[in-house]
Amino acid sequence: MKTFEQLGVASEIIEAIQELGFEQPMPVQEQVIPLLLAQTRDIIALAQTGTGKTAAFGLPIIQKIDSKQRSPQALILCPTRELCLQLSADLNDFSKYADGVKILPVYGGSSIDSQIRALKRGVQIIVATPGRLIDLLNRKVVSLDLVHTVVLDEADEMLNMGFTESIDDILSRVPKERSMLLFSATMPNEIAKITRKYMDKPAEIVIGRKNEGALNVKHVYYMVTARDKYLALKRIADYYPNIYAIIFCRTRRETQEIADKLIQDGYDADSLHGDLSQSQRDLVMGKFRNKNLQFLVATDVAARGLDVDDITHVINFGLPDDTESYTHRSGRTGRVGKSGTSISIIHIKEKGKIAQIEKAINKQFEKRSLPTGDVICEKQLFNLVDKIEKVKVNEDEIERLLPSIFRKLDWLEKEDIIKRIVSLEFNRLLEYYSAAEEIIEPTERSSRKDRDDRKDRKPFESNGGGSRQAEKGYTRLFINIGKMDGANPANLMGFVNDHVTGKVRIGKIDLLKNFSFFEVPEQEASKVVQTFKGLFIEDRKLIVEVAQESENKSTSNRKTFDKKGKRPKRRSY
C-alpha cells in the first residue's frame, strides 16, 4: 500500500489530512489520486458513499488549483444541498494549509445574492447542485471557461432526480479538454449513456464489485401482514437497545406518520422529508448527527445528503421500487470499515423483490422471525445490567450524599437492591410486552384471506364511525380519506370544494383514522357524490357516498399492546 506522499499529494495537503486522522490512503484514493493529478484520463468510479471518495477527487483538485487565478477551475456537481455543503466543508478541511484556495457551495433555497457576491470576490472550486448553477450561468455571473476538472458526484442520484438535462446544459459550457470524473454507487444504463457522450475512453475503477452492496452489510428481512408492519418495527427497535438507525419509508406521508407514532410511543425519533422547510430539515439532521435522535424516519430523497458514519441499522419499512434505491439505502450503514445491518420489513407480496435484490447485490438475505416479547425483555434487561456495570461513577459529586443513602437502604440485602434498581427501569417494559399479542407470520393463504376480508368490508364498518344523525337540512356523506391521509377539517373542505363545481357549504365534519364523514346541504348531496365517482388519488379510488345507518357497526375488536399504555421512554443508547 502506498502513502499519500507516494501518490504525489503535496505536503501542505498531507498536513491538513493528517489533522483529520487520515494515515493511509483508502483504496479509491490510491487509484484515483495519481490519475487525476496526471490529468490524462476521464474516470468512472463505482464507489459507495463512505469509501473515501471525497478525498479521492478533492485532494488532487485542490493541488491543481492556481490560486492566483480567481476564476473557477474545478466544478463538482452533486444532487442535494446537504451533500453540497458536506463536500465543500470537506474540501475546506483538506485545503486548510493550501494558500488562497476558495471553495463555494452553490445550491438552491438560499440567497442567490450572497452567492453572486462570493463569486465576484473570486472562487476556484465550485460545488453545486445543477439547478442553482444554471441560474447563475444564465445570469452570467459565473463563467466555466477555465474549468479543467469536472466531478459528477452521486451521478446516479442526480439522474434519478431528473437533472439529466441540466447536466447536459452545464457540461456544454465547460471547455472540451477538461477531465471528467464520475462517481456513482450503481451503474444504471443512463450513466453509461452520459459516459459515452461526455467521456473519452474513461478509466473504470470499481471499489467493491459492480452494483454490489457493501461487503460488511448483512441483509435481513421479516415478513408480516400489512397491519403488523408498525408493530414489527417497534419490536425490532426494542430488540436492539443500542440501535442508531435510519428508517426508510416510501412516501412523505408515511414518513411523517411513522415518526409521529414512534415519538408517541416514547422513542427518540423524528422525520425527514420534503414537506419540511430547510431549517426544519437542518434541525432534524443536526439532532440525528449528534445522536440526540436514535431513529431518523426518512424518504429516499430527503436522506440523500445525509452523511453519518456510524449508523448501525438501516430499516426498510417496505422495499423501495428499484434495486438501486435499496443499494443506496443499505449503503448508509456498514461504513468506514464498520459492520451494519439492513433490515427489511416486508409484505408477502414483496417476496419476489427480495430475489431481485439478491441477484443485483450478489448477496443472500437472511429471513428472520420477529423476536418474541420474552426475548426482547431479556435482551433489554441484560443491556441495562451491562450499563450498570459500565456506568462511570462520579465519586466526588456523590460522596457527600452516600452516607445518608446507605443509611436509608441499610435494611435491604444486596440482592434486593439489585432487583429494585433493575425493576425501576424494567417494570414498564415487562408490563407492556406481557399485554402484547404475538405477531403471526403470514402465509400465502392467510394473506389472501386478509385481503378478501378487507375487500368484503365496507369502509364505514371498519371501526366506530361516530354514527350521528345529520343536522336538519343536511346529508351526511362518507369519504374514504382520514387522518392517516393527512386530512384535517380545513383541507377536507378545500378538497371537496376543489372538485365540486360551485361552492358547497360543508357542515359537521367527523375525521377518523382511515375515513371521515362530512355534511352537505341535502339538495347538494347527490351532486357531491356524483362528482367523486370514478375519481382516483394516485392509485387509490375515492369513495364518497351517503353514510348509512350501519356506519357504527364495528368489526374491529383486535387488541394490540399499542393501545395499552405507552412504551417506557428510552433514556440513552
Site residues (vs ligand AMP, CB under 6 A): 20-22, 24-26, 29, 49-55, 307, 309, 336
The backbone region for 477, taken as left when phi is positive above 0, alpha when psi lies in -120 to 50, beta otherwise, is beta
Least distance to ligand AMP from the beta carbon of 274, Å? 23
- Of 50 and 60, nearer to ligand AMP (C-beta) is 50
- Of 52 and 459, nearer to ligand AMP (C-beta) is 52
CB 75 within 8 A of CB 96: no
Q: Which residue has the cell 391521509?
A: 485
Least distance to ligand AMP from the beta carbon of 334, Å? 12
How many Å apart are CA 161 and CA 81, to the nearest integer? 13
Least distance to ligand AMP from the beta carbon of 145, Å? 29
- Of 52 and 373, nearer to ligand AMP (C-beta) is 52
CB 252 within 8 A of CB 274: yes
Least distance to ligand AMP from the beta carbon of 22, Å? 4
Helical ranges in 122-209 per DSSP H: 130-138, 155-160, 164-171, 189-198
Least distance to ligand AMP from the beta carbon of 53, Å? 5
Least distance to ligand AMP from the beta carbon of 29, Å? 6
- Name the grid cell of 93: 478541511
Beta-carbon count within 10 A of 497 CB: 15
Least distance to ligand AMP from the beta carbon of 163, Å? 20
Q: How far is CA 355 from the centre of its chain?
A: 23
- Of 184 and 271, nearer to ligand AMP (C-beta) is 184
Q: How far is CA 177 from the centre of its chain?
A: 38
- Of 236 and 311, nearer to ligand AMP (C-beta) is 311
Least distance to ligand AMP from the beta carbon of 32, Å? 11
- Of 92 and 531, nearer to ligand AMP (C-beta) is 92
How many Å apart are CA 531 and CA 503, to the nearest integer? 13
- Of 22 and 221, nearer to ligand AMP (C-beta) is 22
- Of 97 and 561, nearer to ligand AMP (C-beta) is 97
Task: Name the residue with the smallest CB distance to ligand AMP.
Answer: 54
- In our burial notation (b when 16+ CB lie closer than 10 A, e otherwise), range 99-116 reads eebbbbbbbbeeeeeebe
Those residues whose C-beta lies under 8 Å from the C-beta of residue 82, and which sit 6 or more positions away, are: 281, 285, 304, 305, 306, 307
Least distance to ligand AMP from the beta carbon of 167, Å? 21
Least distance to ligand AMP from the beta carbon of 496, Å? 48
- Of 19 and 453, nearer to ligand AMP (C-beta) is 19
- In our burial notation (b when 16+ CB lie closer than 10 A, e otherwise), range 247-257 reads bbbbebebbbb
The strand pair at 245-248 and 295-298 is best described as: parallel
- Of 29 and 516, nearer to ligand AMP (C-beta) is 29
- Name the grid cell of 47: 464507489
User: Could you give phi then psi for residue 79, rounded to 5 degrees?
Assistant: -80, -30
- Name the grid cell of 175: 471547455
